[in-house]
């Protein structure tokens, strides 16, 4: 029997198929018995089988396994070539986990689909029926387009409101099924990252480290060390403030010739580690970074005050921010790794790539140095001596002065710079601010040669007077040491994180991107740097001249000469020309001044920061407690683990003696991580994946509790208690529909459905008599019996 359309309606016509030619028209029942292979069967099943509990058990069980991996932060494997159980390597194991992730996805999809089938069957077998457009929902919930299809939209909004909760559930299932695929891979395939090692040395081992001094000496507020061995350049040792001069000089050679960035790697020779010494230019070098707008009180200034302000604005350079980790902390980390490696301490020694960090509960610090300079012409300054001002620095913690005419900086005493001297050499002088009202660590004044051109004619030798302000603080540090990389990293590796908010705006205005900075950056108050300590940064260099007042032979002068172009031998030819040469020559004198001020501030900031980082380096002993019993404490010095000094520096003491000795000593412990594959919730992606899995688990568990507790106990005769395993495929539904009587409600739909309202017609499965089930449409469902529990169906209505 086929239907054909005529004038918009479907008409019936009879056509014999080849198979129908063999039907016995006298005894059709005999023909049916001959061709039928299906037996009569019951539709309704027990509650346990009807909800596909095996699918839910597989989905929930596999999800529980995946979830616990991340909650427990399970470590999977190091990055190496070792085989698992001697069978598969790491790459093969990761591919196997991808296959397992696919299985997990299939388990969850089967579980979600089983719930949708239960609701669909309950609607079809129940009293209300289900809109035509929602019958295919269990087959389509994996497609994102389904909730936007005509069959879904019309079924929900053109039918009774009681179907809206089911529609919302279908939308949630669509999202979940779409997400569970990638989520399974995210959560089951381990991530390559740093993972914490909970017991790095064994079950109850800690190995604390003590530094045999007090915290105030490790990070002093008043820097006044006067080391005897550091008074002469040739006698300098590794703990001297100026011991980093060679590295800075090597960088300056690269900077002056190729413009290398101010980022230097400084080695620590006892522990084998390295640290970064970095500087950053706050704001925009092409414009003055203090007051670009004249303050309101400028209307009352005298002509001389206006000239002073103009001179300052064209002379001042940007603030330079410099940071580097403390040298002794790097020594402690590197030497502890050497100790752990030699003593074969627990898991960290077996890890392919471990790294160490000082426990965050014990603060450590590093120097933050802010420097700022201004370049003034020597001859102009002699005519306008009151205009020569050293600028205050600017940083995150505020300017050291109020930016008014009187407090843009502090005046430089003429005795420091206004005297007769050669103009073609470099000279440097520290300025003691200890007894002054200037809120800075120390000051400095450079004399820098340059050539002054008059009316674009021949140039003559002149000099720039460059006063500078140095502000030093201790800032909180979180130093991380990776032995395989050697160079330590820390949370303040970007100096520009400390720039003033106004300078941040200038910095971004020229197209720069602000660095990603850690939260809660803090720093101590400004240090007081003494002249005795500062002089150890500017030691005379051999050969020593008889009159060293204008000698270029000091460490700081020697650094600056990397930026000076000298035409002749300045030491013997007083008439030779010398001048500062910037990276990019610019005839604009104001830009020339600011470039000079920037370069000098950078060099000074890096040299001072490196010197501060060496405070207390190798001076106090650093002891690791190798054995701690109720009676005695044994220690090993990390400074001398081998060689001639090892025996005399390693020792033991009674518990009472050690406790008394170490009462003021800072104690440090290390958190240990290792690089490899593991599970955790340390990324937003993994957190998203976990949320999807938990939503799935909550959905399935909620469904099972709802069914087994609420429905089974309190509403056992409701429509939702009707469970069946039938019609789980499109073929079964199609067979049921073919053997169902036609409906006037679906007239004209044999060639497709164009009218959306057709999808809103209610469809139900009913007992139409003669042990036959059929799909009925519309109100006709109420004129037929509902499916009976225990009854067997399977006969055609023509069968007697």
Residues 612-635: what's their mean pLDDT?
A: 88
Q: How confident is the model at residue 32 (pLDDT cuts 50, 70, 90)?
A: low
- What pLDDT was estimated at residue 206? 84
Helix extents (H) in 683-738: 684-705, 712-714, 730-738
More confident residue, 122 or 681: 681
Task: Quickly state the pLDDT bin for 264 (edges 50, 70, 90).
Answer: very high
497 class by beta-carbon count within 10 Å (0-12 exposed, 13-18 middle, 19+ buried): buried
Reply yes or no on whether the pLDDT at 297 is more than 80. no
For residues 608-618, give the mean pLDDT: 94
Mean pLDDT over 102-128 rounds to 90
**Contacts with 154 (C-beta within 8 Å, 6 or more apart), sequence order:** 131, 133, 756, 757, 758, 759, 760
Average pLDDT, the chain: 82
What the block records as the tokens of 589 is 């004198």
Which residue ranges make up each domain of the chain? 42-190+683-793, 210-613
Look at residue 553 and tell me whether its pLDDT is greater than 50.
Answer: yes
The tally of CA atoms less than 13 A away on the side-chain side of residue 9 is 8
CA distance 373 to 663: 44
User: What whole-number distance in Å separates Cα of residue 348 and Cα of residue 342?
Assistant: 11
pLDDT band at residue 693 under the 50/70/90 scheme: very high
pLDDT at position 14 is 40
Q: What is the pLDDT of residue 6?
A: 43
pLDDT mean over 779-792: 79
What SS3 state is found at 255? Answer: helix
Mean pLDDT score, 717-733: 77
User: Coil, strand or helix: which one is 661?
Assistant: helix
Query: Highest-confidence range of 512-521, 618-627, 685-694, by mean pLDDT?
Result: 685-694
| Number of residues that make up the chain | 800
pLDDT at position 22 over 60 = no
Task: Indicate if the pLDDT at residue 721 is higher than 90.
Answer: no
Mean pLDDT in residue range 750-776: 85
Q: Give the DSSP letter of residue 724.
A: B
Question: Of 88-92, 216-220, 443-447, which range is least confident?
Answer: 88-92
Query: What is the percent of the chain with per-residue pLDDT over 90, rounded to a whole number?
Result: 31
How does pLDDT run across 405-442, given as a tens digit for each residue? 556 788 888 888 888 888 888 999 999 998 888 889 99
Nearest to 209 by CA among 335, 61, 123: 335
Model confidence band, residue 728 (pLDDT cutoffs 50, 70, 90): confident
Alpha-carbon gap, residue 224 to 219, rounded angstroms: 12
Q: What is the pLDDT of residues 311-347, one digit of tens each?
A: 777 788 889 999 999 999 999 999 999 888 888 887 8
Q: Report residue 158's pLDDT band, with 50, 70 and 90 as the boundaries.
A: confident
Question: Which DSSP string corresponds to 549-560?
Answer: TT-S-BHHHHHH
Asked if the model's pLDDT at residue 7 lies above 50, the reply is no
* Residue 13: per-residue pLDDT: 42
Burial (0-12, 13-18, 19+ Cβ within 10 Å), 173: buried
Q: Are 104 and 62 in contact (CB under 8 A)?
A: yes
pLDDT surpassing 50 at residue 4: no
Q: Please state whether the peptide bond connecting residue 585 to the residue before it is cis, i.e. omega within 30 degrees of 0.
A: no
Phi-psi region of 81 (alpha: psi -120 to 50; beta: other; left: phi over 0): alpha
pLDDT digits (tens, 9 = 90+) for 167-188: 999 999 999 999 999 999 999 9
The answer, yes or no, to whether residue 498 has pLDDT greater than 80, is yes
What is the reported pTM?
0.77
504-544 confidence digits (pLDDT tens): 666 655 556 677 777 777 888 999 999 999 999 999 887 65
Alpha-helix residue ranges (DSSP H) falling in 384-497: 414-417
Work out the pLDDT band at 643, boundaries 50, 70, 90.
confident
> What is the structure's pLDDT at 306?
64
Mean pLDDT on 690-700: 95
């Amino acid at each position: 029997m086929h239907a054909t359309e005529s004038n918009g309606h479907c008409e019936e016509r009879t056509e014999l198929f080849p198979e129908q030619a063999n039907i016995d028209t006298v005894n059709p029942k005999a023909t049916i018995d001959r061709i039928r292979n299906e037996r009569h069967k019951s539709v309704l099943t027990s509650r346990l089988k009807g909800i596909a509990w095996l699918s839910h058990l597989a989905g929930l069980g596999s999800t529980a396994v995946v979830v616990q991996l991340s909650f427990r932060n399970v470590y999977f494997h190091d990055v190496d070539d070792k085989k698992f159980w001697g069978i598969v390597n790491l790459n093969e194991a990761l591919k196997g986990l991808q296959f397992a992730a696919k299985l997990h996805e299939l388990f969850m999809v089967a579980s979600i689909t089983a719930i949708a089938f239960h609701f669909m069957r309950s609607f079809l077998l129940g009293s209300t029926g289900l809109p035509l457009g929602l019958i295919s929902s269990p087959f389509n919930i994996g497609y994102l387009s389904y909730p936007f299809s005509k069959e879904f939209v019309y079924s929900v909004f053109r039918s009774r409101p009681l179907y809206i909760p089911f529609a919302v559930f279908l939308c949630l299932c669509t999202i979940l099924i779409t997400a569970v695929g990638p989520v399974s891979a995210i959560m089951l395939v381990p991530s390559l990252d740093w993972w914490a090692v909970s017991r790095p040395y064994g079950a109850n081992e800690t190995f604390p480290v003590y530094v045999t001094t007090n915290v105030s000496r490790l990070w002093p507020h008043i820097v006044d060390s006067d080391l005897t061995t550091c008074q002469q350049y040739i006698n300098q040792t590794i703990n001297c403030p100026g011991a980093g001069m060679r590295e800075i000089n090597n960088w300056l050679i690269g900077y002056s010739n190729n413009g290398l960035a101010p980022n230097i790697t400084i080695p620590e020779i006892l522990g084998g580690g390295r640290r970064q010494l970095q500087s950053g230019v706050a704001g925009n070098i092409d414009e003055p970074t203090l007051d670009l707008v004249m303050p309101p009180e400028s209307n009352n200034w005298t002509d001389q005050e206006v000239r002073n302000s103009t001179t300052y604005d064209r002379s001042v350079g940007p603030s330079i921010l410099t940071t580097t980790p403390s040298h002794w902390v790097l020594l402690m980390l590197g030497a502890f790794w050497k100790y752990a490696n030699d003593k074969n301490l627990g898991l960290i020694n077996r890890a392919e790539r471990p790294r160490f960090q000082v426990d965050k509960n014990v603060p450590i610090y590093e120097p933050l140095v802010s420097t700022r300079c201004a370049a003034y012409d020597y001859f102009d300054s002699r005519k306008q001596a009151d205009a020569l001002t050293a600028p205050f620095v600017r940083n995150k913690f505020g300017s050291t002065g109020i930016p008014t005419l009187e407090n843009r900086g502090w005046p430089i005493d003429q005795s420091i710079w206004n005297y007769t001297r050669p103009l073609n050499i470099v000279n440097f002088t520290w300025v003691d601010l200890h007894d002054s009202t200037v809120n800075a660590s120390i000051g400095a004044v450079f004399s820098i040669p340059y050539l002054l051109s008059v009316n674009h004619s021949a140039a003559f030798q002149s000099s720039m007077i460059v006063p500078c302000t140095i502000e030093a603080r201790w800032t909180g540090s979180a130093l991380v040491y990776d032995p395989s990389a050697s160079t330590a990293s820390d949370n303040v590796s970007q100096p520009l994180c400390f720039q003033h908010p106004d300078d941040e705006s200038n910095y971004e205005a020229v197209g720069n991107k602000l660095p990603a900075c850690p939260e809660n950056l803090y720093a101590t108050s400004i240090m007081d740097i003494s002249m005795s300590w500062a002089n150890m940064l500017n030691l005379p260099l051999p050969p020593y001249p008889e009159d060293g007042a204008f000698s270029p032979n000091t460490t700081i002068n020697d650094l600056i000469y990397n930026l000076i172009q000298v035409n002749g031998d300045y030491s013997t030819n007083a008439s030779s020309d010398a001048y500062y040469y910037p990276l990019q020559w610019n005839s604009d004198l104001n830009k020339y001044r600011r470039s000079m001020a920037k370069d000098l501030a950078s060099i000074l900031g890096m040299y001072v920061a490196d010197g501060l980082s060496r405070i207390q380096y190798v001076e106090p002993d650093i002891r690791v407690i190798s054995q701690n019993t109720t009676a005695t404490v044994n220690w090993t010095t990390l400074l001398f683990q081998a060689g001639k000094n090892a025996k005399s520096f390693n020792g033991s003491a009674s518990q009472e003696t050690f406790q008394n000795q170490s009462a003021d000593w800072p104690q440090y412990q290390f958190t240990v991580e290792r690089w490899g594959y593991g599970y955790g919730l340390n990324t937003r992606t993994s957190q998203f994946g976990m949320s999807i899995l938990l939503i799935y688990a909550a959905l399935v568990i909620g469904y099972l509790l709802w069914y087994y507790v609420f429905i089974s106990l309190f509403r056992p005769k409701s429509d939702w208690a009707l469970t069946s395993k039938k019609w789980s495929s499109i073929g079964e539904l199609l067979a049921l529909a073919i053997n169902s009587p036609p409906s006037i409600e679906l007239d004209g739909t044999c060639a497709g459905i164009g009218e959306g309202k057709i999808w809103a017609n209610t469809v139900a499965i009913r007992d139409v008599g003669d042990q036959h089930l059929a799909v009925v449409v519309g109100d006709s469902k109420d004129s037929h019996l509902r499916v009976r529990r225990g009854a067997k169906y399977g006969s055609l209505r023509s069968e007697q």
